[in-house]
Amino acid sequence: MKKYQFIDSLRGIAIIMVILVHSYYASEKFTFSLSPITRQVFISGQYGVQLFFLLSAITLFISGKKKWLTEENATANFFRRRFFRIAPLYFIAIIYYTIQNTTGFKFLSTGVPAHLLEIKPIVLNFLFLHALVPHYINSVVPGGWSIGVEMLFYCLVPLLIKGMRNLNYSIIFFSCSVFFMVVCNLVISPFISTEDKYFLYFYLPSQLPVFFLGIACYYFIIVKDRTVKKNALFLLLLSSVLLFYFGISYHISASLIFCLLIYYCYVSNSRILVNRVTEYIGKMSFSLYIVHFAAIFLLKKVGLIGLIPVTGSVSEILNHFSNFVIVISVSSAISYVTYNYYEMPLLKRFSK
């Protein structure tokens, strides 16, 4: 197994989870006869985004630790590489989804309005500042909230590379980020409208603990640093109590489970999870993330979503599964082109 093949494979699993949940909601055919466990399997795909965040933190520290020691202008080079990894495809997505939205064909995300014909959200998305504004955090590009949050996290990375020097520091940072999340939620929530209630889940303070868990994974799994001092353990205990008191955030619980999955994939030779198929899907994961919303829209337009009549729980499961297979197949075909002939050529040209 290649040294870090498991990271691309886990990215593949993450995007499969995301497409699974969006394919599920795209069906619009529910009998409500599914068991709670079966329904939760589909819905839990939403936490694939947290798996992306964990893996992003790990890879940023794997590459960043070396480059900050050896490169001149390491900070400027970091931001240039990150910009050209995200911006070229995301800018095309802004243009495409603006056209799709303004013509009345918009992907509907629960609780997130489509801001038709508004210039402000378009400009904010081009500047990667939409994740700072409650009303626009998930506007224009479906799922764009995670891109905005990721770009904001990049702004912290140069400081984190220097400040989070070992596992002990990463646990302290994680614990403090939980306190920060709770305080931000308490302060901001009275000013958030019902329409924008998802902002408190989407925004950076809510996702920072996930990124910091990823950095802890880097030190524990990659560096094999197992030293944790009492001060870190004490803060970890306090932050855990705080999470229980205010209600455990499910995305953080899911992230803790993903940490175990990351460790398992690193130490094992499992070909079920880590193989050429999941690895290649993982390499195309950013294209798949951007493209699959458009694929769902187009497939619904031509009547290829919800092909199986739903009369009960079995037919509903088959219908959701068929939707998933069709969506990921079409999305993969489009993403193969965007990844190989647009993303990678631009990245190689401008990120050296």
Mean pLDDT of the residues in the chain = 91
Q: What percent of the chain has pLDDT over 70?
A: 93
Q: What is the DSSP-derived secondary structure letter of residue 109?
A: B
What pLDDT does residue 228 have? 95
Residues near 255 by beta carbon (within 8 Å), at least 6 away in sequence: 47, 50, 51, 53, 54, 209, 210, 213
What pLDDT does residue 316 have? 87
Locate 293 and state its tokens: 């919303």
pLDDT for residue 112 is more than 50: no
What is the mean predicted confidence (pLDDT) over 272-290? 97
Q: C-alpha distances in angstroms, 343 versus 58, 60, 64?
A: 22, 19, 21
pLDDT for residue 268 is more than 50: yes
What is the mean predicted confidence (pLDDT) over 179-185? 95
- 171 and 235 Cβ atoms separated by less than 8 Å: yes
Containing domain of residue 163, as a range? 5-350
What is the mean predicted confidence (pLDDT) over 322-345? 96
The helix/strand/coil state of 112 is strand
> For 216-246, b where at least 16 C-beta lie within 10 A, e where not — what string?
bbbbbbbeebeebeeebeebbeebeeebeee
Question: Environment class of residue 248 by beta-carbon count within 10 Å: exposed (0-12), middle (13-18) or buried (19+)?
Answer: exposed
Note the maximum CA span of the chain.
64
pLDDT for residue 344 is more than 60: yes
pLDDT for residue 40 is more than 50: yes
> For 64-85, b where at least 16 C-beta lie within 10 A, e where not — what string?
beeebeeeeebeeebeebbbbb
Locate 193 and state its tokens: 């409208």
- Band of pLDDT at residue 110, cut at 50, 70 and 90: very low
What is the mean predicted confidence (pLDDT) over 189-208? 95
- Highest-scoring range by mean pLDDT, 17-31, 73-87, 107-121: 73-87
Number of other residues whose CB lies within 10 A of the CB of residue 278: 24
- 148 and 129 Cβ atoms separated by less than 8 Å: yes
This prediction's pTM: 0.94
What pLDDT does residue 347 have? 85
- Give Cα 45 distance to the centre of its chain: 11
- Band of pLDDT at residue 131, cut at 50, 70 and 90: very high
- Band of pLDDT at residue 159, cut at 50, 70 and 90: very high
CA distance 121 to 333: 30
pLDDT for residue 105 is more than 70: no
What pLDDT does residue 229 have? 95
- Band of pLDDT at residue 62, cut at 50, 70 and 90: very high
DSSP, residue by residue, 168-184: HHHHHHHHHHHHHHHHH
Q: What percent of the chain has pLDDT over 90?
A: 74
Closest of 328, 250, 254, 335 to residue 290, by C-alpha = 335
What pLDDT does residue 72 have? 84
Between 27 and 106, residue with greater pLDDT: 27
- 10 and 55 Cβ atoms separated by less than 8 Å: yes
What total of structural domains would you count in the chain?
Answer: 1
